Amino acid sequence: MLISIASGKGGTGKTTVAVNMALALMVAENIQLLDCDVEEPNSHIFLKPEVKEENPVYIKVPKIDRKRCDCCGKCSDFCEFNAIFVVRRDLDTDIKGDVLTFPNLCHGCKGCAIVCPNDAITYENRVMGVVRKCSVGGMNFVYGELNVGEPMAVPVIKAVKKEIDIKKTVMIDSPPGTSCPAINSVYGSDFCLLVTEPTPFGLYDMELMVEVLRELGIPFGVIINRAGIGDEGVYDYCKSEGIDIMLEIPYDRRIAELYATGSTFVDEIDGWNDKFSHLFEEIKTVVER
């Protein structure tokens, strides 16, 4: 079973839920945890894993053979992302023409080589980030990290998801938002836990993610973190939309103190192992329907 943890809004507690739930289930279930928030991964801060393997993530970017290229411009016309710019040859003004590539804009589709009539385009690898395979006790943990300054997180997210072990119960800590990184992270999930906070900001972004999950056909439920602050807007919305509130995590000083020191509350506060185990059983019931 593949369970993703998402929110729409940043800072609601996705990592808190993912890490604590994975640790609570680690003994009874065969758990694998993936941190797909590759722009700012932080599950490893709490898990303090032993890194077993580290692999770079590449994307194929165009390399121009100047001897073959006649600056026809077909590659530039094809590229929707403006990763290639061609100064076309002008015989009247004796402009020879040139080709400029912008690797940071390239999505690696390889369409430019297909449309090139002179076979002037090959590809070279450009490192975008890294995937680390780790162990935490008996749990398999994988996380990706995007290189600073890289504009595209999706190739690293896909590299992390390639490590999914279908024999295990897999949990994915997703990035915030409702754009490509978040969608690629939750895509293919059997169930998605939406972590929100009872504030107008939490509600607004959760509503956007609800639309995304309904469009993708992924069943979901809500966890309210920092319950006890804010207003009743999230509760009213869930009731009106028929969305299950599956768990509430209170606005508690002790939990905040543990978080601030990089500790997990399932290990320190009684009762939470049972709550997360009960939550998992509820999810299984929904998925098996």
Domain residues of the chain, as ranges?
A: 2-58+128-288, 66-119
Question: pLDDT tens for residues 176-228?
Answer: 999 999 999 999 999 999 999 999 999 999 999 999 999 999 999 999 999 99
State the average pLDDT over residues 108-124.
95
Tokens matching residue 5: 């943890």
Q: Domain 66-119, what architecture?
A: 2-Layer Sandwich (3.30)
pTM: 0.91
Beta bridge partners of 135: 50, 140
The pLDDT score that the predictor gives to residue 92 is 62
Beta 98-101 vs 84-87: how paired, if at all? antiparallel
- In sequence order, which residues have a C-beta less than 8 Å from that of residue 43 and are 6 or more positions away? 15, 18, 19, 33, 35, 37, 141, 143, 173
Question: Could you identify the residue written with the tokens 């385009």?
Answer: 121
Confidence of residue 52 (pLDDT cuts 50, 70, 90): very high
pLDDT greater than 70 at residue 31: yes
Confidence of residue 8 (pLDDT cuts 50, 70, 90): confident
* Cα separation values, 264 from 22, 56, 221, Å: 11, 29, 23
164 contacts 192 by C-beta, under 8 angstroms = no
Instruction: Please tell me the class of the 2-58+128-288 domain.
Output: alpha beta
88 vs 67: CA distance, rounded Å:
15
Tokens matching residue 255: 């939990």
DSSP, res 174: P
The pLDDT score that the predictor gives to residue 210 is 97
